[in-house]
Amino acid sequence: MNNNSSAHNFLSRHWLHLTLIAIVLTRLPLLWNGYGSDPDAWRIAHVGSTLWTTGNYHISRPPGYPLHEIISAPLVAWGGSFLSNFTTIVATLFLITIASQWARSLARHPHLLTFLLAFMPLIWLNSATTMDYIWSLLFIVLAFNDVQENNIIRAGVWMGVAAGFRLSNIVAAVPLCVMIYLLHRSKKLSLSFLVATLATTIVAFTPVLIHLGLLGWLNEIRMQTSTIHLTHSDRVLYFGYRTLYSIGPLAALATLWIVAINRDLVRQLLRERDASTFGYLVAVVVFLAQFFWLPLDRSYALPAVFFLLLFINRISTEKQFIAFMVCALSFAFINIDITQHEGARRGKLELHAAP
């Protein structure tokens, strides 16, 4: 009995460290597989290489991803895909560490949540590639964490940094403003947050604006969006399919089951205006609404998936959450997608063919 108790205490004390070690060990095989399966990763590598060798900055694709493109420059130049992918693993370690610390005070089952976040297939897919998804989520989580800790201005700065990695991240300002208002009942603090977010975003996009000019930048965005022709039925179809496959069919059914049997607790938390519950739900809604507008890649839904996991953890019992975990993690064995395929080969050709 004492041995069991000692083992339990050891796991409880070192759960995060063991999880981080497991992340590194399971991601290492991905480091030698090129920049990733997404051709955009190879475009980023080309932009970074050009910036480092010539000093000339240009965007990898509209509307520009300046912070990720800039930090990728020395990584690609010094260590190629190995170093740039490894740095994304480091960002993943920071993301899981911050989320774990956050979960200790806000989650019902923090150890289980930490493990699920570390090995959720959609997070795993993006945790060792030269893409900005994990970086973006890291700074969004830092912003949420600072709102909880009443560091409103710093939260705005983190939010602006997240937008500098991917401009569409700016929608996370909506749930953050909701949380700030529920926590402080202060429109002034919400305004301060928005000013800090906007100022940081403008600074982050300065290289893009210098390179293209404001009108040129807007024209690039217009041309990009004008080439996306989706009928209403196609948009609904792509959104439904890719949303479902961002967590897997079993996890989607488990989500509906957990929400249904815990609906009284959900109503109670909403009646009490629990800031975290509102924040998670609004984040899921705004990111899914954004994904509906552009349902081209299921990785776009990553922030919505992340906050859905936080919400499910907050309302479920331990047994229910374990059942959800089994459903979510089993999807990796059903439809795993962490290796090179046609997208990567096409991106590699574009990288070498680029002037």
Distance CA(91)–CA(112), nearest Å, equals: 20
Q: What is the C-alpha separation between 105 and 103, in angstroms, rounded?
A: 5
- pLDDT for 3 equals 57
Looking at residue 161, what is its pLDDT?
A: 98
Helix (H, G, I), strand (E, B) or coil at 48: helix
Asked whether 304 and 284 are in contact (CB, 8 A), the reply is yes
pLDDT of residue 22: 95
pLDDT at 105: 80
Tokens of 125: 């897919």
Each residue's pLDDT, cut to its tens digit, for the chain (355 residues) gives 455 666 556 666 778 999 999 999 999 988 887 888 788 999 999 999 999 999 999 999 999 999 999 999 999 999 999 999 999 999 999 999 999 988 888 888 999 999 999 999 999 989 999 999 999 999 999 999 999 999 999 999 999 999 999 999 999 999 999 999 999 888 899 999 999 999 999 999 999 999 999 999 999 888 887 777 788 888 999 999 999 989 999 999 999 999 999 999 999 999 999 999 999 999 999 999 999 998 988 999 999 999 999 999 999 999 999 999 999 999 877 654 443 444 444 444 444 444 3
Provide the pLDDT for residue 325.
Answer: 96
Under a CB-based contact definition with an 8 Å cutoff, are residues 123 and 302 in contact? yes
Per-residue pLDDT, 30: 84
DSSP 19-74: HHHHHHHHHGGGTTS-S-SSHHHHHHHHHHHHHHHH-----SSTT--HHHHHHHHH
Q: Which pLDDT score is estimated for 9?
A: 63
Q: What is the pTM of this model?
A: 0.91
Cα 106 to Cα 84: distance, rounded to the nearest angstrom:
33
Q: How far is CA 217 from the centre of its chain?
A: 25
Termini Cα distance of the chain: 68
Q: Could you tell me the sign of the dihedral formed by the alpha carbons of 250, 253, 259, 260, in that order?
A: negative
Helices and strands in the chain: count of H runs, count of E runs: 18, 0
Residues 6+ apart with CB under 8 A from 276: 106, 148, 179, 310, 314
CA dist 116 to 42, 84, 111, Å? Answer: 29, 25, 9
User: How many Cβ atoms are within 10 Å of 249's Cβ, its own excluded?
Assistant: 13
